[in-house]
């Protein structure tokens, strides 16, 4: 049964967005609003982890500059969704670096997982909400670490790392919360392993394998299934073929362009994963320009006349390989991102036609009742939907 009231958070070109859904009326009532914290000096904002009460959330506020270079100072606040106000700035003590976001709230809600960039490498640190008792979980020798995920039992981290000595690309690791008992799940020459996501029972990881020597823009990948207990050829295996998972998304027009890694998600019952499958020969309107220096962490030029194909979102059984089309393919339409409601009754995703900003769409669990919820602030695009209730 569909929940009567639910909420989705999203981002829109540096703005925070909220979608409130009310299914208690005959037709779904949708309210979209944009928090605008009254804090001088912030150039953009993003959502962070949510507390168990589902009303308090940690925000990251970015001072002006190129945030992707890791030199911009990030401020962390606790924000109240119900009252639409900042409660307090946190992590003011013992900051290890100016650029430091927050990825998770640890069980007990008195410690945070943060990701400072120190000497050019992103690390995992844990600390109290005020910044006291900081602990370094990964160091410089552990590479540039991000996409940290906590296991369902709250006892282990999974993450990918690059800039590792003797390695040519990204590898995937699992460790305990203190950084010990680290095991390598996936790593091989010529393969970019990215985005580990825990199955709901904590027994498996789904992640991506991009053959980056042939794909410098990291546009495409296959999905892999692996064990968090370490590399085992019988357990680590590729579950799709043809490099058809849309990995490095690029969409919109020059005024509404967007991007970001597109990661597979488990269904709430743990039986299937989302697979953003491209039609053979697909090409976005933003081809990667490998011959040019990357000055904006995008490095693409806009050629809408050359775009072709598109993507469907499929549901894939990673244990048998069986797949079915869930969000169907339409020519020149790019479906991506995946966000299941907490009870599994609804599914939010992003959709962008060639040359148009991305919108957030909603369907029921059977794929029916598809409707667009928003195309973002001033119609400039909406992305990264996350359910909070």
Whether residue 183 lies inside any domain: the answer is yes
Q: Can you tell me the mean pLDDT for 366-385? A: 97
Whether residue 196 lies inside any domain: the answer is yes
Question: What per-residue confidence (pLDDT) applies to 28?
Answer: 84
HEC string for the chain: CCCCEEEEEEEECCEEEEEEEECCCCCCEEEEECCCCCCCCCCEEEEEEECCCCCEEEEEEECCCCHHHCCCCEEEEEEECCCCEEEEEECCCCCCCCCCCEEEECCCCCEEEECCEECCEECCEEEECCCCCCEECCCHHHCEEEEEEECCCCCEEEEEEECCCCCCCCEEEEEECCCCCCEEEECCCCCEEEEEEECCCCCCEEEEEECHHHCCCCCEEEEEEECCCCCCCCCCEECCCCCCEECEEEECCCCCCEEEECCCCECCCCCCEEEEEECCCCECCCCECCCCCCCCCCCECCCHHHCECCEEEEEECCCCCCEEEEECCCCCEEEEEEEECCCCCEEEEEEEECCCCCEEEEEECCCCCCEEEECCHHHCCCEEEEECC
Tell me: do 258 and 232 sit in the same domain: no
Tell me: do 265 and 389 sit in the same domain: yes
CATH of the domain at 193: 2.120.10.30
Whether residue 255 lies inside any domain: the answer is yes
The pTM of the full predicted model, rounded to 2 decimals, is 0.95
Percentage of the chain with pLDDT > 90? Answer: 92
> Per residue in 310-320, pLDDT tens?
999 999 999 99
Tell me: do 294 and 356 sit in the same domain: yes
Whether residue 123 lies inside any domain: the answer is no
Assign 69 a pLDDT band (cuts: 50, 70, 90). Answer: confident
Tell me: do 193 and 250 sit in the same domain: no
**Residue-range definition of the domain harbouring residue 165:** 137-241
Question: What per-residue confidence (pLDDT) applies to 234?
Answer: 60
Whether residue 9 lies inside any domain: the answer is no
Tell me: do 340 and 362 sit in the same domain: yes
Q: Can you tell me the mean pLDDT for 217-246? A: 91
Question: Domains in the chain: how many in total?
Answer: 2
Tell me: do 230 and 367 sit in the same domain: no
Tell me: do 260 and 384 sit in the same domain: yes
Tell me: do 258 and 220 sit in the same domain: no
Tell me: do 228 and 284 sit in the same domain: no
Question: What per-residue confidence (pLDDT) applies to 1?
Answer: 42
Whether residue 182 lies inside any domain: the answer is yes
Assign 296 a pLDDT band (cuts: 50, 70, 90). Answer: confident
Tell me: do 147 and 218 sit in the same domain: yes
User: Which one of 241, 275, 309 terminates a domain?
Assistant: 241
Tell me: do 281 and 386 sit in the same domain: yes
Lowest-pLDDT choice from 17-31, 62-76, 88-102, 249-263: 17-31
User: Which one of 219, 241, 263 terminates a domain?
Assistant: 241
Whether residue 99 lies inside any domain: the answer is no
> Per residue in 143-192, pLDDT tens?
999 999 999 999 999 999 999 999 999 999 999 999 999 999 999 999 99
């Amino acid at each position: 049964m569909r929940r009567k009231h639910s909420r989705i958070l999203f981002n829109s070109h540096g703005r925070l967005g909220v979608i409130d859904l009310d299914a208690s009326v005959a037709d779904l009532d949708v309210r979209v609003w944009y928090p605008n914290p009254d804090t001088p000096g912030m150039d953009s904002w993003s959502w962070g982890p949510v507390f168990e009460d589902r009303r308090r959330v940690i925000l990251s506020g970015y001072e002006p500059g190129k945030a992707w270079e890791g030199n911009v100072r990030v401020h962390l606040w606790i924000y109240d969704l119900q009252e639409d106000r900042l409660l307090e700035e946190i992590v003011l003590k013992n900051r290890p670096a100016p650029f430091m976001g927050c990825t998770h709230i640890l069980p007990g809600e008195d410690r945070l997982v943060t990701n400072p960039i120190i000497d050019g490498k992103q690390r995992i640190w844990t600390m109290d909400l005020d910044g006291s008792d900081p602990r370094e979980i990964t160091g410089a020798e552990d590479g540039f670490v991000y996409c940290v995920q906590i296991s369902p039992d709250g006892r282990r981290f999974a993450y990918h790392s690059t800039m590792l000595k003797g390695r040519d690309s990204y590898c995937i690791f699992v460790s305990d919360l203190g950084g010990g008992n680290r095991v390598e799940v996936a790593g091989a020459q010529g393969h970019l392993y990215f985005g580990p996501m825990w199955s709901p029972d904590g027994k498996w990881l789904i992640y991506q394998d991009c053959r980056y020597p042939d794909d410098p823009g990291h546009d495409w990948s296959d999905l892999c299934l692996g064990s968090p207990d370490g590399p085992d050829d019988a357990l680590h295996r590729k579950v799709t073929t043809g490099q058809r998972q849309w990995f490095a998304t690029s969409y919109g027009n020059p005024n509404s362009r967007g991007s970001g890694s597109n990661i597979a998600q488990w269904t709430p019952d743990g039986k299937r994963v989302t697979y953003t499958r491209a039609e053979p020969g697909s090409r976005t309107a933003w081809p990667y320009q490998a011959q040019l220096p990357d000055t904006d962490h995008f490095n693409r030029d806009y050629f809408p006349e050359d775009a072709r194909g598109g993507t469907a979102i499929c549901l894939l059984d990673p244990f048998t390989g069986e797949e079915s089309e869930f969000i169907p393919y339409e020519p020149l339409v790019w479906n991506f991102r995946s966000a299941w409601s907490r009870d599994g009754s609804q599914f939010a995703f992003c959709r962008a036609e060639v040359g148009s900003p991305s919108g957030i769409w909603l369907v029921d669990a059977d794929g029916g009742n598809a409707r667009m919820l928003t195309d973002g602030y001033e119609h400039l695009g909406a992305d990264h939907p996350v359910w909070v209730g």
